[in-house]
Amino acid sequence: PTRILTGITTTGTPHLGNYVGAIRPAIHASRQADTQSFYFLADYHALIKCDEPARIQRSTLEIAACWLAAGLDTEQVTFYRQSDIPEIPELCWLLTCVTGKGMLNRAHAYKAAQDQNEAAGRELDDGVTAGLFMYPVLMAADILMFSARKVPVGRDQIQHIEMARDIAASFNHLYGEHLTAPEAVVDEHVALLPGLDGRKMSKSYNNTIPLFAPQEELRKAIMGIVTDSRAPGQAKSTEDSAIFALYRAFATPAETKAFAKAFASGIAWGDAKQQLFERINAEIAPMRARYQHLMAHPEEVEAALQAGAAKARAQATPFMHTLRRAVGLASLD
């Protein structure tokens, strides 16, 4: 079977970008024949960006509830919390020792932090932790631990998957063919969902639309999407339109075509937003009730995660044993 793996960092409330870019395609993929899926909550990654324990806890529950509400079948999929698998940081160290520092210097997240410092006239590494610098190695450990071949992600993560391939190749070159090279799977239609301001929807930009906000809140958020000043009756461009991109991510090709036509014939922005709200809500509403139930019963979520951790460790423990032997850490007898 093909192994599929993906994770979400537990630093915020799950948003439409996470759903469309990761959760929905991953659940879809897990239902295909001859696949074996590993989906997890990247809470070690959360520590890189967030030093508020309560926020990480809350986000872990929210994101887990979100996967379950969206229809994840925990019998079929191995669903776990990264920090329940001590073999992951252990593998991370083995990989750290075969990873070129120069490659990490080129990682987008690290370079973005440096660019910000440069623009502000600060020292390049001001406020940059070693954790941020090492981010791609921890992510490689996540992926390589479970020999995942396919990693469904949004476009912003492609570089990390390429680095995981490089790191696997370095390890294999030194110690034998133990690690499987992964590839990113990106749905081009939804590769980067825009947020309220038209930039990539992202926790860091504060422009997200929460996935399971109450219906009225979802409507209000959608009404707040920034638009240009074209009046009703004036033709609107579908290109660079956040409303159009969001609609397309939730609609069939036929619905999308009809929506494009309405743009050409000058639909009022308010009407376009209302249609967008209805389309998104139609898909989300059935999951919302289940989400709210799980948020009120964290013990159900925790039980699912404990069972998932046991399943994940049944793979990780023997594999880590093999890798320890491969690099010379085995016991001497």
Least Å distance, CB 127 to ligand TYM, is: 19
- Burial code of 65-99, b = ≥16 C-beta within 10 A, e = fewer? bbbbbbebebeebbbbbbbbbebbebbbebbbebb
To ligand TYM, the closest distance from the beta carbon of 275 in angstroms equals 21
Judged by CB under 6 A, does residue 207 bind ligand TYM? no
For residue 156, state whether it binds ligand TYM (rule: CB under 6 A): yes
Which position among 64, 77, 92, 151 is part of the footprint of ligand TYM (CB under 6 A)?
A: 151
Closest alpha carbon to 182 in 172, 190, 192: 172
Residue 3 is inside which H or E element, if any?
Answer: strand 2-9
Q: Is 202 annotated as a binding residue?
A: yes
Residue span 12-41 as binding mask against ligand TYM, x where in contact by CB under 6 A, dash where not: -----xx-xxx-------------------
Q: How far is the CB of 34 from ligand TYM (least distance, A)?
A: 21
Q: How many residues bind ligand TYM (CB under 6 A)?
A: 26
How are strands ordered across the β-sheet holding 2-9?
78-81, 35-42, 2-9, 150-152, 183-185
DSSP label of 234 = S
Least gap, CB of 277 to ligand TYM (angstroms):
18
Task: For ligand TYM, give the closer residue by CB, 5 or 316.
Answer: 5
Q: Return the range that interacts with ligand TYM (CB under 6 A); candidates 119-127, 186-194, 235-243, 301-309.
A: 186-194
Q: Is 40 helix (H, G, I), strand (E, B) or coil?
A: strand
Q: Which is nearer to ligand TYM, 18 or 78 (CB)?
A: 18
User: How many whole angstroms separate alpha carbon 48 and alpha carbon 83?
Assistant: 13
> With binding defined as CB under 6 A, does residue 91 bind ligand TYM?
no
Q: Which residue stretches of 86-226 are H helix?
A: 87-96, 101-105, 108-119, 130-145, 158-175, 215-223
Torsion angle of C-alpha atoms 297, 301, 303, 304, degrees rounded to 10: 150
Q: How far is the CB of 142 from ligand TYM (least distance, A)?
A: 4
We find the least distance from the C-beta atom of residue 261 to ligand TYM, in angstroms, to be: 25
| Chosen residue from 3, 4, 9, 67 binding ligand TYM by CB under 6 A | 9
Residue-wise DSSP of 272-306: HHHHHHHHHHHHHHHHHHHHHHHHH-HHHHHHHHH
145 scored as a contact of ligand TYM (CB under 6 A)? no
Please identify the residue of the shown chain whose CB is closest to the bound ligand TYM: 21
Element (H, E) at 317: helix 298-327
The one-letter amino acid at 60: T
Answer yes or no whether residue 192 interacts with ligand TYM by CB under 6 A.
Answer: yes
> Is 104:131 a contact under the CB 8 Å cutoff?
no
Does the annotation list 203 as a binding residue?
Answer: yes
312 contributes a contact to ligand TYM by CB under 6 A: no
Q: Which of 37, 78, 99, 157 binds ligand TYM (CB under 6 A)?
A: 157
Site residues for ligand TYM, 41-80, by CB under 6 A, read 42, 45
Binding residues for L-tryptophan: 142
Q: Note the residues at the interface with ligand TYM (CB under 6 A).
A: 5-9, 17-18, 20-22, 42, 45, 139, 142-143, 151, 153-154, 156-157, 190, 192-193, 200-202
